[in-house]
Amino acid sequence: VQLQASGGGLVQAGGSLRLSCVASGYFFDDSAVGWFRQAPGKEREGVSCITTTDSRTYYADSVKGRFTVFFDNDKNTVYLQMNILKPEDTAIYYCAAVPEGNYNSVWTADGYDYWGQGTLVTVSS
């Protein structure tokens, strides 16, 4: 199983980016797929998650109203649309997946079975 996160880059504050998480050897249906990020010198934090069984979405307070997570079943890809980006959004973003029912909380990173390699998002002020 491999997850591939992509779409990061350098953007000015107020701009947008769309991150993609593609899986090989794994199907995202009936899974929780989370996005986490880690900024330099800070701990990893949960950003957003989608449970593909029911399309329920979860967002950290810091990104509510600005980020949107969604799932394209045909492409087996989970996206994170990030709008109104702020310098404090600068981090390496990771996607992770775990089969439905195999986790206690979508916010617990240790509960995810599979991780992508991360994609760097840099937001300039």
Q: How far apart are CA 31 and CA 69, in angstroms?
A: 14
Q: Higher-confidence residue: 97 or 104?
A: 97
Mean of per-residue pLDDT scores for the chain: 96
**Contact yes or no for 21/114 (Cβ under 8 A):** no
CA dihedral 6, 10, 16, 18 (to 10 degrees): 0
| Degrees to nearest 5, angle at CA 106 with 58 and 8 | 65
Residue 104 pLDDT grade (very low, low, confident, very high; cuts 50, 70, 90): confident
Asked if pLDDT for residue 48 goes beyond 90, the answer is: yes
Half-sphere exposure of 29 (CA within 13 A, CB side): 5
Q: What's the pLDDT score for residue 31? A: 96
Asked if pLDDT for residue 37 goes beyond 90, the answer is: yes
| Three-state SS at 114 | strand
